[in-house]
Copies of this chain bind each other. A is one copy, B any other.
Amino acid sequence: MEKFSDKAINRLTLYHCILADFQDREIPYISCGQFAKLLKIDDSEVRKDISLLSNLGKNNNEYPVRELKTTIEKTLGFAKNKKAFIVGAGNLGLALAKYDDFKSYGLNILALFDNDRKKIGTTVNNKVILDISKLPNLAKKSEVDIAILTVPKKYAQVMADFLVASGIKYIWNFAPVVLCVPDNVQVWNENIMGNLLQFTYDI
């Protein structure tokens, strides 16, 4: 399977959202035009994306909802189970911990970490909040190499250093800071400001 561009992956997950909704409403078929209308993009772009997936049965230019959904899941590797920790149990960390959709996309949040005594030991969405000092051992024991970093900006670099020293290989960074990490560690900056500016560029 050829690697999809970031924009195509983004579109495929949006198609997946729409398919999940159609499935809930027990609508068996969907057309390129329906995707295009909801996403306000061109029919031809949808058709091209779907043609890059494996050979799907088509019925009068409509695709079977269930099969197309499964194909997207396989293509994007939702089935591969990935384990992760949330580092920082503030509002954002808690919001992400409550996000049940992560599991259906193959991301399994094992626990949250914080240094606030009042939070440690409590649970959110069946996930326990642990003392940050326990992270290095648990990362090794549970073979976790993804950390979702939701600490305040001023602690982000110190915490990234700590995660790197704990063997974390992938950091999904929600703090508005560019982290400095070794070459063998990957950072994905969830650049909320960048997204905002793309959205409001013409306003």
Contact = CB atoms under 8 A, between A and B. Distances in A.
Contact of A90 (B82, B95, B170, B172): B95
A77 B146 contact: no
A120 to B, nearest CB: 18
A13 B94 contact: no
Oligomeric state, in number of copies? 2
Nearest to A145: B203
Contact of A14 (B3, B39, B194, B196): B194
Interface in A112-157: 146, 153
B196 A107 contact: yes
Nearest to A39: B178
Interface string A156-191: 000000000000001010001110100100111111
Contacts of A82: 200, 203
Contacts of A12: 194
Contacts of A99: 192
Interface of A: 3-4, 6, 9-10, 12-14, 16-18, 21, 38-40, 76-78, 80, 82, 90-92, 94-95, 98-99, 101-102, 105-107, 146, 153, 170, 172, 176-178, 180, 183, 186-201, 203
Nearest to A157: B21
Contact of A17 (B39, B102, B176): B176
Contact of A18 (B9, B91, B146, B178): B178
Contacts of A106: 200
A13 B177 contact: no
Given A21-B178, A91-B98, A95-B95, A146 B203 contact: yes
A68 B55 CA distance: 50
A201 to B, nearest CB: 7
Contacts of A91: 91-92, 94-95, 98
A86 to B, nearest CB: 12
